[in-house]
C-alpha cells in the first residue's frame, strides 16, 4: 500500500500575511492543516492571540508553532504583571525570536507577529525559520508566500485605509490558495489598532475565484453529476 504520510506530524503548509496601514495592522491566514497528503483540519485558526494588543500568525509545524505561542503568551503575562502595563509589539516579537533562535535546530516554524501599542503604533515583525527578526511594513510566510512577493511589492502602498488593507490581505490569501495546494479553506483576518481588535471570517465560497479554479462544491459527486448532465460534444 502506498505510504500517504497519514501518520506524519501535522504541518501547516500555509499562507500567512501581516500588513501595516495608517491606523494599525491587519493579519491574515488561510485555514488548511495537513498531515502528509491528508487535510487534517480545513478550518484551523492560524492567528493566535498573545496579548490584548498583539497576535501571531503561525506556519510550519503546527505543534512547534503552538508551543512557542503558549510559552510567549505565558512570559508576556508575567511581563505585564511586573510592569503594570501591556507589553509592546517589539517585546512580544523579540520573545518569539529568542525561542525560535534558541531552538533553531529543532523547531520547524515561521511566524509573523503584529500588533499596536501606544509607543510605536502598528508594527509587523517577520520571524522566519531559524529565528531572524525583521521589522517590515508587510510580511508574508508559509508555502503560499512564494506566489505573492511580486503581487505585494506592486499592490502594497503606504498609508492605506483599513478597508484597503483588509481587501489586500483577503485578495493575497485567496490568490495563494488558488496556486498553492497546501493552502486552502477559509480566510481569517485580525485588525488591530488603537480602538482594539476585530476578527473577521471569510468562507471559501465568498472568496474570488482565480484563473481556472473550480466553483466550490459540497462533494465530488456534485462535480461528477454536473459533468454527466452536460457532456462535452465530441469533435473530430
The residues annotated with a catalytic role in the active site are: 14
Q: How far apart are CA 102 and CA 82, in angstroms?
A: 24
Amino acid at each position: 500500500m502506498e505510504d500517504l504520510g497519514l501518520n506524519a506530524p501535522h504541518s501547516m503548509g500555509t499562507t500567512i500575511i501581516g500588513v501595516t496601514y495608517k491606523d494599525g495592522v491587519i493579519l491574515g491566514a488561510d485555514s488548511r492543516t495537513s498531515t502528509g497528503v491528508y487535510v487534517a483540519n480545513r478550518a484551523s485558526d492560524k492567528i493566535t492571540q498573545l496579548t490584548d494588543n498583539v497576535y501571531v500568525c503561525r506556519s510550519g509545524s503546527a505543534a512547534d508553532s503552538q508551543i512557542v505561542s503558549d510559552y510567549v503568551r505565558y512570559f508576556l503575562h508575567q511581563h505585564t504583571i511586573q510592569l503594570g502595563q501591556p507589553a509592546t509589539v517589539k517585546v512580544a516579537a523579540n520573545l518569539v525570536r529568542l525561542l525560535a533562535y534558541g531552538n533553531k535546530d529543532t523547531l520547524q516554524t515561521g511566524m509573523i507577529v503584529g500588533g499596536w501599542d501606544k509607543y510605536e503604533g502598528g508594527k509587523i515583525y517577520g520571524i522566519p525559520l531559524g529565528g531572524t527578526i525583521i521589522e517590515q511594513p508587510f510580511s508574508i510566510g508559509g508555502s503560499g508566500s512564494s506566489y505573492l512577493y511580486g503581487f505585494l511589492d506592486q499592490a502594497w502602498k503606504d498609508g492605506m485605509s483599513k478597508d484597503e488593507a483588509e481587501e489586500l490581505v483577503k485578495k493575497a490569501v485567496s490568490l495563494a490558495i488558488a496556486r498553492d495546494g497546501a493552502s486552502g479553506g477559509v480566510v481569517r483576518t485580525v485588525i488591530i489598532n488603537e480602538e482594539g481588535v476585530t476578527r473577521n471570517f471569510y468562507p471559501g465560497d465568498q472568496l474570488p475565484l482565480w484563473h481556472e479554479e473550480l466553483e466550490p462544491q459540497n462533494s465530488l459527486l456534485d462535480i461528477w453529476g454536473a459533468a454527466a448532465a452536460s457532456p462535452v460534444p465530441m469533435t473530430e
